[in-house]
A and B are shown apart, each in its own frame.
Chain A
C-alpha cells in the first residue's frame, strides 16, 4: 500500500499553489469548474458581482468534492481562450451591444463544441438585458427554441434537491433553456445569481437578497452548486440507479 498517496488535502494545497503560480492551471485543476464571465462588444461586466465567480468556486469546493477555481476570469466571445473551458456566463443589467461577426462565430462554435452558456440577468425587472440576449440567441440558434425546463429536470437534483430557482431576486419559478441533443446548453436565469454570491472585500455579502432571508441566499448558492454539477456531470443524476435509490428513500422533498 502506498504511503505517499495524494489526498484531497494535497489537492486543495495544490489548488492554493496553483492560484499563486503564474500558470493558469496545474495537474488536477485543468478540469476544475470556473464561472468565467463573457465580454462582448468590448464591454466588461463590472461592479460588486465580479466577486461572485470566486465565491461560486469557493462554495463548490467547500460543499462538494468537485474542484473549483477561486478566481474571476473574463473572456471575450471572439477570443480563442473561450474554448479553454466548457462554461461561460453572459451577464449584465442593460442591453449589450449587438454581437460582432467574430463574436457570433465564437459563441456559436462554443455551443457547437458542447459548451454551456449561462445567461444571468442582473436587472430582470427592467428586462433589457434578457430581451437583447434573447434576440441574439434567436439569431444564433434559430433552430433551437427557448423552452421552460420541467420541474423534474436533472438541474434541480444534480447535488441538492431544489424545487425552484433562486438568486438575489426570487424571480420566476422556472428556468428557461435552449436544449440541444437532450442537453440544456443555454440556461437563462432572471434571478441575478451572481448578485446572491457577490462578496465585499471585508467578507460580507455585497448585495441584499429580495424579498430577503437567509434561506433565499442559501437556496441561490445551492442552485449555483447544482449548475456547476450539471456542467461537470451533465445528466449523471438521471441515471436509473440514482433515480431508483432516491425514490426508495422518498427524497422528493424540498430542502
Chain B
C-alpha cells in the first residue's frame, strides 16, 4: 500500500500552476515591501506567508491519496525472423529450427517477463507458436524489421519494456550500414532496447544468383538487359561460373536466349546479358548458373522469373492467296489500327496469268519471299493465312516450322476461301494438327450454299465476340458457302457453327478457337466476314461490325485481358515449391457453370497434368487448391462453363528471392542493438541479455480531503484578517 498527497482532482493542471505563480508573486511583493522596514517586520512577514499559504490551500484543496497495487513482470516481445531464408541449414539444423529453440532460451532468460512471440516478415508481425508443427517453415520472402517495429509502435496497448530479435541478420530492412536512419522513425515510437540474437554467423559454402535485375520493362521483339549478380561465399572457390538464360515453354524444350560467364572476384560478380522475347504476355525465364561441385545449396543456382512482356505494336504477317473484298476488308482494318505493324504479301499473279507485258519491269510485282518469310516467323506476333494454297505457293515445306512457331507462343488465324483448310492442302500436315478443328483429306472440301452462321452457347458467353453481339445481337450476315472442316479438337471452343452442315454428330464449326502449346489459333471457315463492315447488315452499325469482330479475334489471339472470360492469379502472390498453392479464379458475377482447371509444367516430358473441378461463388470468385507443386514454370488453364479457357503462366521456386543470399549478417544485428540501446548476443549467450524492468500496476486508489474545503476557506480568511491587523498596527495601512 502507498500513501501520497495531491491537489484536488477537479482542478486542471493549468489552474494549479497559475495559483502557485500568483502565490509566489504575492510573497515576492511582501519581501520587496519589507526589505527596509524594521518595526513589526517579522510579524508582517510571518502572517503574510501564513495567509498566502492558507489562501493557496483553500484554492487547491490538497487531498490524501492511498493506493494499493502490485509489480508484474515486464512485457517483452520476441520477434522471430519468419523469412523462408531461415530454412537454410547450418550444420544439422536449419536456422529456423535454431531460432525456434532460442525462443525457449529467451523465455528462460526473461522468466519473470510476460513474453509475446511474433514472427516478422512482410508487413505487421504475426503471432507465432514455436511448438506448433505449422511453424516448422517460414512464411515470407522478406524480413522487414523496420515495418515490424513500426507496427509495434502503433499499437495502443501496453508498450513492451524490451524487444528481442532472432534472425540471421540478412534483413530486407534495415539495410546494412543504414540501421540508424532506417530505425529512426520506426523505433522512436517505442523507445525500448532492441536486443538481437544472432542465430547464424557463418556463411555456408554456396554459389548463388543473388539478384536478377531488368533495365526497364520487357517489350516483345526488343532486347532486354538482365543484370545478374552472382555471389560465392563460405570459402568456395568459384572462378568462372557459366550462366544461361532460357525461356520455358509448353510442350517443347526450354529455348536458350543468352549465355555468359561470370568471373567471380572477392566473392561476387555481375554479368549483363541481353535477351529478346518474341512473345508478349506472361513469360517464364530460367536463369541458371553452373556452380563448383562443393556448392552446398543447389536451390539458389536457378531463378525463375515471371515477366509480363508488353507489346509496343502487334507485328502481324498477313498472307493472302488472291486479292478479294475479304482481303481488302482485313487489310484496311489492320492498316487503320496504329497498334498493328502489318507485313502483307498477297499473291497478285500466278504462272497461269497472262499479263500482256514484254517484261516484268512493266509490273509492280515482287516475288513472294516465302522462304525468307517463314524462316523469320518468330519476329511476328501473329500470322494470318487467308485463302492461300500451301502447295502452289511453296508454304508446305514450312508448315512444320509454322506449327513450332505456334507451339512456342505465336498466334495463327486461318481465314476461309477456295484455297484454305483442306482445299489449300493443309490437311494431314503439321498445321492441320495445330488448328482448333479437324481437317480431312477425303470428302468435299467446300460447300457453296449460302448460310447464316449461328452462335453457339460458348459464343454467346465469349467476350471475344461480345463487341459484335453488342452491335447486332444474334444476327450475322449471310455467308456465300464455307470450307468444310471436321469437328472441334479437344479443348477447342466453337463460337459460330453451321446451321445445317455437321461434323460427326455436332454442327460443323465455322469460327473456332484453340490453343496449341504456348500459342493460340483461330479457324474461320468463311470468306464473307467483310459483310460485317460493308453490307446491308453493316449499315445498321455504320460498318463497325467488322472491326468489332477482328478486335476480338486479334485481341484474344494476343491474350488481351479484356477478351479473356476469367482471370487467374496465385493466392498470396507467389508460388513456393513444396507448399500448398491456391489459384483464385475471378469472373463476372452471375457467370454460371462449373469451373475446370488444368495445370501443367512447362517444358517437355514433365510430370502429369493436375486437374481440378470447382463451382463459382455468388461473387464470381473461387479459390482452387492445387496442392504442393514442385519447382518449375507452370501453365494454368481454367474454363468457366462453355466459355473459352483462360490461361495464366507462373513460376514456382524452391528458394527464390529468400534464398538468393545465404550469408548471415551478424554485423547488422550488432548495429541494430547498438542503435537502440540493446545488446547483441550469439545463440549460446542468451543468458547475457539484460533483464527488463518490472512493471508496477495499480489496482486500488482512495482519495480523501485532508480537511474540508470550507475549513481551508475559514482559516484563510482568519489569517488574512490577522495579517491585516498586524499591518495596521505597524502603520503600513
Contact = CB atoms under 8 A, between A and B. Distances in A.
Q: Which of A5, A160, A249, A251 has the most CB of B within 10 A?
A: A5
Interface string A48-72: 0000000000000011111100000
A249 B328 contact: no
Interface stretch (B246-254, B419-427, B464-472): B419-427
Interface in A13-57: 14, 23, 25-33
A233 B346 contact: yes
B425 A31 contact: no
Contact of B448 (A8, A26, A109, A237): A26
Contacts of A231: 328
Contact of B331 (A30, A115, A234): A234
B364 A237 contact: yes
A14 B482 CA distance: 14
Contacts of A85: 325, 534
Interface stretch (B347-355, B590-598, B678-686): B347-355
Contacts of B325: 30-33, 85-86, 232
Given A2-B426, A32-B324, A63-B356, A109 B534 contact: no
Contacts of A251: 361, 364
Interface stretch (A125-133, A166-174, A203-211, A240-248): A240-248
A23 B480 CA distance: 10
Contacts of A8: 350, 352, 392
B231 to A, nearest CB: 48
Given A112-B542, A232-B324, A65 B364 contact: no
B425 A233 contact: no
Contacts of A23: 450, 480
Nearest to B387: A28
A202 interface: no
Contacts of B542: 112-113
A214 B391 CA distance: 38
B445 A246 contact: no
A159 B543 contact: no
B391 A113 contact: no
* Majority SS at the chain A contact face: loop
Interface residues of B, number: 71
Interface in B349-381: 349-350, 352-357, 361-366
Contacts of A30: 324-326, 479-480, 527-528, 531
Contacts of A28: 387, 417-418, 446, 480-481, 527
Q: Report which residue of B361, B442, B447 has the largest number of chain A beta carbons within 10 angstroms of its beta carbon.
A: B361
Contacts of A112: 542-543
A113 B355 CA distance: 32
Contact of B447 (A11, A27, A241): A27
B482 A236 contact: no
Nearest to B364: A157
Interface in B305-364: 321-328, 331-332, 335-336, 343-350, 352-357, 361-364
Tell me whether chain B's interface is mostly helix, strand or loop, or mixed.
Answer: loop
A67 B425 contact: no
Given A113-B539, A241-B343, A26 B364 contact: no
Interface string B220-264: 000000000000000000000000000000000000000000000
A2 B324 contact: no
Given A65-B323, A84-B536, A229-B348, A4 B363 contact: no
Interface centre among B331, B364, B442, B542 (most CB of A within 10 A): B364
A83 B366 contact: no
A64 B480 contact: no
B396 A1 contact: yes
Contacts of A183: 332
Nearest to A156: B364
Nearest to B531: A30
B353 A65 contact: yes
Contacts of B427: 2
Contacts of B723: none
A171 B723 CA distance: 133
A31 B539 contact: no
Contact of B446 (A6, A113, A181, A234): A6
A159 B448 contact: no
B153 to A, nearest CB: 63
A26 B480 contact: yes
A223 to B, nearest CB: 13
Contact of A114 (B348, B355, B446, B543): B543
B392 A7 contact: yes
Contacts of A31: 324-328, 527-528, 530
A86 B335 contact: no
Q: Considering residues B366, B417, B447, which has the most beta carbons from chain A within 10 angstroms of its beta carbon?
A: B366
Contacts of B332: 114, 183, 234
B480 A65 contact: no
Nearest to B530: A31
Contact of A4 (B343, B352, B445, B448): B445
Nearest to B483: A27
B9 interface: no
A63 B354 contact: yes
A27 B418 contact: yes
Nearest to B343: A241
Residue among B479, B481, B536, B538 with most chain A CB within 10 A: B481
Contacts of A115: 534
A246 B427 CA distance: 36
A93 interface: no
A4 B448 CA distance: 16
Given A115-B534, A232-B327, A6 B419 contact: yes
B442 A4 contact: yes
Given A8-B352, A114-B543, A84 B535 contact: yes
B422 A4 contact: yes
A218 B358 CA distance: 12
B498 to A, nearest CB: 13
A235 B335 CA distance: 9
A64 B335 contact: no
B533 interface: yes
A239 interface: yes
Given A64-B353, A65-B350, A232-B327, A160 B362 contact: yes
Interface string B371-403: 000000000000000010101100010000000
Interface string A73-93: 000000011011110000000
B435 to A, nearest CB: 14
A99 interface: no
A171 B114 CA distance: 105
Interface in B392-444: 392, 396, 417-419, 422-429, 441-442
Contact of B429 (A1, A62, A83): A1
Given A2-B423, A5-B391, 12 more contacts: A2-B427, A5-B419, A8-B352, A26-B448, A30-B480, A30-B528, A66-B323, A83-B534, A160-B364, A161-B361, A161-B362, A242-B366
13 contacts: A1-B391, A4-B441, A5-B419, A28-B387, A29-B480, A84-B536, A160-B364, A161-B361, A233-B327, A234-B328, A234-B332, A234-B335, A236-B346
- 9 pairs of A and B residues whose beta carbons are closest in the complex: A27-B481, A31-B324, A255-B362, A6-B423, A232-B323, A28-B418, A31-B325, A30-B480, A157-B364
